[in-house]
A = this chain, B = another copy of it.
Amino acid sequence: MKPMGPIPPEFAAQQGELTIAGRSARDWIAEREGPLFVYDPAIVAARVARFRAAFPSIDLHYAIKANPFPPLLAAMAEMVDGFDVASAGELAKVRGLGRPVSFAGPGKRDAELTAALTAGITINLESEGEAERALSIAAGLGVTPRLAVRVNPDVELRGSGMKMGGRPSPFGIDAGRVPALVRHLVAARADWRGFHIYAGSQALDPQAIIDTQAATVALAARLAEEAGQAPPLVNLGGGFGIPYFAGDVSLDLERVGVALEATLAERPAILKDSRFAIELGRWLVAEAGVYLANVVDIKESGGEQFLILDGGLNHQLAASGNFGTVVRRNYPLALARAMGAAVSGTVSVVGPLCTPLDRLGDRVGLPPARIGDVVAIFLAGAYGATASPSAFLGHGPADEVLGSGPPE
């Protein structure tokens, strides 16, 4: 038997039928023809509340790439201070939600810059060339561009799942070249919004995040001093991880918050009027989502038992271990009608795709299952539906649904 990752606390203590957002998993899926993602806004709201308590003076941005499901975005508009988008397509999804928007990402096309400049949102510049294109398009439009500079920091986030700083990178502008660019933007009469500094993602070690945030604040101050400009906003990035796999431990958010507040209390004078933001995607929404699929067949082969679901990596690629992971490990999953029940044996849980890659649970321990059962795969709220090849093998996309509104 191989271990699974930890079930999120809101679900781990349940007994019997799994309930998501006040409704049983069986009821959720019975209305559908196939698998679906259910997102519980109360869990997102709980994460937001925890963030607010830990970081009282910091703005909270939601990076919608983690989950751009429109009803979820509408719910989050009430909870966060801004949205971060990474394409014109994402920008279109947050228009009209009444929150400030910033747009980061390499390779912004002219049409995307035009859309962003017309909408008056902040563009996080990824290169000097992009800066020139943005200035030129803004001049043509007759608007004052709102431009921040994304910095490729000379620090990296230790222990992060994906490093995005401290090395040659397609993201941001190398720190050493940033002051000159800021001076140039100000001279060109752009509305310079500040810095965006993102050093990594999916980190669970609080000390690594604390050290990175302290280094990021120091870097922002140094760059501002060299540019001779105080940044209105410093986006400190995110990088807060969630536990996916056996042995992972939840991030001690409160410890990070105490340390960052202390860092900011003693920040250099040039940052004294700056606002600070943290940009989170995964940490806010991953644990709020559950992917539900039906057991279509149960078979035995070579002494092993297989549960075959009506959805797999076509809907939830990351859980199959084929997206950004080197060694395949099991996400937490459960038989939805038997939460807390004793494990009766070892089974492998696979999707319907005609490829050995489509394995969602490799020799996991589950209670006895039957055809028609529902399997719940947790941690499906981020990088699930939109980060999966939904057209692969022609099974069609999964449905998505948001549970009833967040408590106020």
Chain A residues near B (Cβ < 8 Å): 33-34, 65, 68, 85-90, 92-93, 104-109, 111, 126-130, 152, 162-164, 167-174, 296-299, 301-304, 306, 308-310, 317, 322-324, 326, 348, 350-357, 371, 385-396
- CA–CA, A355 to B86, complex, Å? 10
> Assuming the A-B contacts A129-B299, A301-B152, A357-B323, are A105 and B352 also in contact, with contact meaning beta carbons closer than 8 angstroms in the complex?
yes
Q: Is the CB of B352 within 8 A of A107?
A: yes
Q: Is the CB of A171 within 8 A of B354?
A: yes
Q: Is the CB of B306 within 8 A of A170?
A: yes
- CA–CA, A162 to B356, complex, Å? 7
> Assuming the A-B contacts A302-B169, A308-B170, are A393 and B86 also in contact, with contact meaning beta carbons closer than 8 angstroms in the complex?
yes
Report chain B residues within 8 Å CB of A299: 106, 126-129, 170, 173
Q: Is the CB of A323 within 8 A of B322?
A: yes
Q: Is the CB of B170 within 8 A of A301?
A: yes
Q: Is the CB of B394 within 8 A of A317?
A: no
- CA–CA, A22 to B236, complex, Å? 51
Copies of this protein in the assembly total 2
A63's closest neighbor in chain B, by CB? B354
> Assuming the A-B contacts A299-B127, A356-B162, A391-B390, are A326 and B324 also in contact, with contact meaning beta carbons closer than 8 angstroms in the complex?
no
A312's closest neighbor in chain B, by CB? B107
A311's closest neighbor in chain B, by CB? B107
Among A297, A304, A356, A394, the most chain B Cβ lie within 10 Å of the Cβ of A394
Report chain B residues within 8 Å CB of A389: 317, 386-390
> Assuming the A-B contacts A169-B302, A303-B168, A391-B386, are A109 and B310 also in contact, with contact meaning beta carbons closer than 8 angstroms in the complex?
yes
Q: Is the CB of A394 within 8 A of B89?
A: yes
5 nearest A-B pairs in the assembled complex, by CB-CB distance: A89-B394, A168-B302, A107-B352, A168-B304, A107-B308
Give the distance to chain B from A155, nearest Cβ to Cβ, in Å: 13
Give the distance to chain B from A298, nearest Cβ to Cβ, in Å: 7
Report chain B residues within 8 Å CB of A93: 394
Report chain B residues within 8 Å CB of A88: 394
Report chain B residues within 8 Å CB of A127: 297, 299, 308
- CA–CA, A373 to B106, complex, Å? 16
> Assuming the A-B contacts A65-B393, A164-B356, A357-B324, are A106 and B174 also in contact, with contact meaning beta carbons closer than 8 angstroms in the complex?
no
- CA–CA, A393 to B65, complex, Å? 5
Q: Is the CB of A297 within 8 A of B107?
A: yes
